[in-house]
Amino acid sequence: MFGLEKIVNKVEIPPSEVDADLAVPAFNLDKNKILEEIKALNNPLFKEIKIAGPYINIKFDIEILAPKIIGQINKEGEKFGFNEDGKDKKIMIEYSGPNIAKPMHMGHARNNALGHALVNIYKANGYEVITTNHLGDWGMSLAKIMLAYQKWGDEKKLDSEPIKHLLDLYIRITKEVEINKELENEARVLFKKFEDGDKELRSLWQKFRDISVTDVKRVYDMLGIDFDLWHGESFYEPMINEVIQEALDKKVATQETEGPVVINLDQFNIPSYLLRKSDGSSLYSARDLAVGKWRLQNYNPDKILYVVGHEQELYLKQIFKTLGLMGYPEEKFEHISYGMVTLDGKKIATRSGNIVFLEDGLKEAIKRAKDNKEVGIGAVIFNMLHQGREKDIAFSWDAVLNLQGNSAPYIQYGYVRAFSILEKANFKFQISNFKFTNLNSSESRLIKMFAYYPEIIRQAKKLNAPHIIATFLNNFVQEFNRFYTNNPVISAENKEIKNSRLLLTKSVAQVIKNGLWLLGIQVPEKM
C-alpha cells in the first residue's frame, strides 16, 4: 500500500527508539535519488521523508492512514494482508514425511507446524502452493518391522491396536538386533526379497502402510492439515534404475565393475556418497534423485521447499548438488531446516523411550486448556513456531500455555477480549466516511501496526520464517492490551470516540484472526 516496492526491494519497520514509522535501507545506494523517488510517489500517507544515516526515514500521517487502513481491513476481511507478489508462480512444499509404522511424536509437531505455516504464508503472498507428504514407506527400518511381524506378530493385535502393535514390534526388534547381529542380515535378505516383488511381503507392506496413513490422518485432522500428494518413497522406487543410469551416462556418477554406484563431490568440498550398494539394493539417496526429477517434470514449480530437520542438511546438499550436475535447476531446491525439539533436555527418540507421541501431546494440551480444542492445539503449534526455526526448542507445558505472553493462549485471549467487547456493544458500525481525529498515542500505535501487518507477511515469506508473524502477533496483542487498559471503549466519553474505538477493536480482532490463520491456528470465541 505504500508504493515503495516500486523503488526498493526492502522496507524495514524501525525499532521503537527510532523516531520514524518506516525505514528504507539505502546503504550503498544514492540516498538523494531514492529520497526524490519516494517524494515523487506523492503518497498522502507520508507526512515526512528524510535521510537519516544510511536510511531514508518516513513518518506517517496518522489521520490519513487511520481511515484508509481500517477501511481496508473491514473491506478485505480474511484476505487483509494478502498480496499478489507470487502471481503466476508455483511453489511445491514438502513437509511432515513421517516414517510409517511409527506414530508421530512431538518432534513432528514442529515440522507439521512449520510446513503448514509456510503453506499459508505462500498462499497469502499470492503463490499457487502444492503440498506433498513424503512418507518414509520404504527401506531397511520397515524391513525390520516386517521381519519382527513374521517372528512375533499377532494378527489380532494388529487389528485391534494396529499402530501400537507395530511400534512394539519395532522397539523389540531394534533391541534384539543389538544382541543378535544375525537379525540384521535376515532383515537385509527380507528387504531384497521384498524389493524383488515377493507377493506376501508386498501385501504385508500395503497393510502396514494403510494402517499408518489412517493413523497419521487422524492427527493431521486435529492439526487442520491436509496434503495434495501422498507419494511416499515407494512411489519413486520404480524410477530409480533410470535415474541412476542417467547419472552414470552424464558422468555424474561412477561405478567400477560389480561395485557400488558412487557420486563424487570432492571438488565442491561435499562428501561423496552412494546411490546403490554393490549388492544391488537401492538407497534413500537414489530415491531422492528420482523425487527431485519427478517433481520438476510433473509440476515445474518455481521452487521446491523441503521442510526437513537440520540433521539432513548435508545430505540434502549432496542431493541438490547432484541434481544440479545432472543438468537440473539446482537453485529451485531449498532446504527449510529447523532445530531439534527436546524433552527434559534430551533428544526425542522412539527407541530410547524418551518420547511423547504427537496425538497424546495434543490431547494432553486440550485437556490442560480445559477442553478448549482451539486453545490446546493452537498452544502446541505456536510453541513450535515462535522462535527462529534454527533454534532448538526445549518443550515445556509452562511455556506452551503461558498466559503472560509468547503463547497462543495469550494471543487468542486478545482476540476473545476484542470479540466480547464487540458483542457487548452489539457492534455493526459501518466504516464509510468515518473520521479519526485526535488519536492518542496508544491508538496511533495500533494503526501503525495494522499498516505493518502486510509487510510482515512479505518478510515472513522472504525468509521462510513464520516466527516473524508469531513475534508480530505477540507485540500486537501487547499493544492492544495496553490500549484497552487505558482507553475505555464502550464507556468512552462521546459517541464519536466510542465508535472509532469500536472500529479499532474490530480491526484488531480481524488481524489477530488472520495472523493466527497464517500459523495454522484457529481462534476461539470464548476462553
Burial group, residue 78, by CB count within 10 angstroms (0-12, 13-18, 19+): exposed
Sheet arrangement for strand 393-395: 346-347, 341-343, 393-395
Least distance from C-beta 99 to ligand ARG, angstroms? 5
Q: Tally Cβ neighbours within 10 Å of residue 117.
A: 28
Q: In terms of CB distance, is 306 or 453 closer to ligand ARG?
A: 306
Task: Rule CB under 6 A: say whether 209 interacts with ligand ARG.
Answer: no
Output 308 or 502, the one with its CB closest to ligand ARG: 308
The cell for 272 is: 561423496
C-alpha to C-alpha distance for 129 and 115, rounded to whole angstroms = 12
Residues 353-412 that bind ligand ARG (CB under 6 A): none
How are the residues of the chain apportioned to helix, strand and coil, as percentages rounded to the nearest 5? 55, 10, 35
Our CB check for ligand ARG shows the closer of 4 and 308 to be 308
Distance of CA 470 to the CA centre of its chain: 12
- Local structure of residue 356 (DSSP, 8 states): -
Minimal distance, residue 275 CB to ligand ARG, in Å: 14
Strands (E) located in 230-302: 253-255, 261-263, 273-276
CB of 336 to ligand ARG, least distance (A): 11
Other CB atoms within 10 A of residue 189 CB:
11
Report in angstroms how near the CB of residue 308 gets to ligand ARG at its nearest.
Answer: 4
Q: Please identify, among the stretches 3-11, 58-66, 93-101, 237-245, the one whose residues bind ligand ARG according to the rule CB under 6 A.
A: 93-101
The DSSP annotation for 24-58 comes to EE-TTS-HHHHHHHHHHT--TTEEEEEEETTEEEE
Q: Please give the single-letter amino acid code of residue 173.
A: I
Find the shortest distance in angstroms from Cβ 314 to ligand ARG.
12
User: Looking at beta carbons only, is 18 or 314 nearer to ligand ARG?
Assistant: 314
Nearer to ligand ARG, 26 or 305 (CB): 305
In whole angstroms, how close is the CB of 298 to ligand ARG at the nearest point? 15
Q: Which is nearer to ligand ARG, 159 or 226 (CB)?
A: 226
The CB-of-184 to ligand ARG minimum distance in angstroms stands at 20
Residue 170: φ, ψ to 5°:
-65, -45
**Using CA atoms, how far apart are residues 272 and 253, in angstroms rounded to an integer?**
10
Q: Which of these segments, 1-9, 72-80, 92-100, 150-158, binds ligand ARG (CB under 6 A)?
A: 92-100
- Min dist CB 162 to ligand ARG, Å, is 20
For ligand ARG, give the closer residue by CB, 285 or 442. Answer: 285
> Which helix (DSSP H) or strand (DSSP E) does residue 394 occupy?
strand 393-395
Candidate residues 102, 110, 116, 134; the one interacting with ligand ARG per rule CB under 6 A? 134
Specify the residue, 18 or 349, whose C-beta has the smaller distance to ligand ARG. Answer: 349
**What character string, x for contact with ligand ARG (CB under 6 A) and - otherwise, covers 43-82?**
----------------------------------------
Residue from 26, 34, 66, 99 touching ligand ARG (CB under 6 A): that is 99
Per CB under 6 A, the list member of 103, 136, 361, 378 interacting with ligand ARG is 136
| Angle value at C-alpha 364, between 359 and 370, nearest 5 degrees | 135
**Of 94-102, 112-120, 170-178, 462-470, which segment contacts ligand ARG by CB under 6 A?**
94-102
Which CB, 34 or 118, lies closer to ligand ARG?
Answer: 118
What does the alpha-carbon distance between residue 72 and residue 82 come to, in Å, rounded to a whole number?
11
Q: How far is the CB of 518 from ligand ARG (least distance, A)?
A: 24
Residue list 248-307, contact with ligand ARG (CB under 6 A): 288, 291, 306
Tracing cell 541412476 back to the chain, one arrives at 244
Q: Specify the residue, 348 or 379, whose C-beta has the smaller distance to ligand ARG.
A: 348
Closer residue to ligand ARG in complex, CB, 98/409: 98
Other beta carbons within 10 angstroms of residue 470's beta carbon come to 28
Closest to ligand ARG by CB, 305 vs 512, is: 305
Cα–Cα distance for residue pair 133/93, rounded to 1 Å: 9
Given a contact cutoff of 8 angstroms between Cβ atoms, the answer to whether 1 and 72 are in contact is yes
Report the chain's C-alpha Rg in angstroms: 27
Answer for which of 308, 348, 381, 451 binds ligand ARG (CB under 6 A) is 308
Q: What is the chain's length?
A: 527
Q: Quote the least distance from Cβ 213 to ligand ARG, whole Å.
A: 14
Return the DSSP state at 262: E
Q: Which is nearer to ligand ARG, 227 or 306 (CB)?
A: 306
- Count interface residues toward ligand ARG (CB under 6 A): 9
**CB–CB of 39/49 below 8 Å?**
yes
- Closer by beta carbon to ligand ARG, 108 or else 513: 108
Q: What is the largest CA-CA distance in the chain?
A: 89
How many whole angstroms separate alpha carbon 188 and alpha carbon 185? 5
What residue type is 54 in one-letter code?
Answer: P
CA distances from 453 to 21, 101, 464 (A): 13, 42, 16
Stretch that binds ligand ARG, among 23-31, 91-99, 147-155, 296-304 (CB under 6 A): 91-99
Q: For residue 116, what is its C-alpha cell?
A: 503448514
**Distance between CA atoms of 34 and 31, rounded to whole angstroms?**
5
Q: How far is the CB of 291 from ligand ARG (least distance, A)?
A: 6
Q: Which of 97, 115, 301, 376 binds ligand ARG (CB under 6 A)?
A: 97
| Cβ 476 to ligand ARG shortest distance, Å | 34
Q: Binding residues for ligand ARG, per CB under 6 A?
A: 94, 97, 99, 134, 136, 288, 291, 306, 308
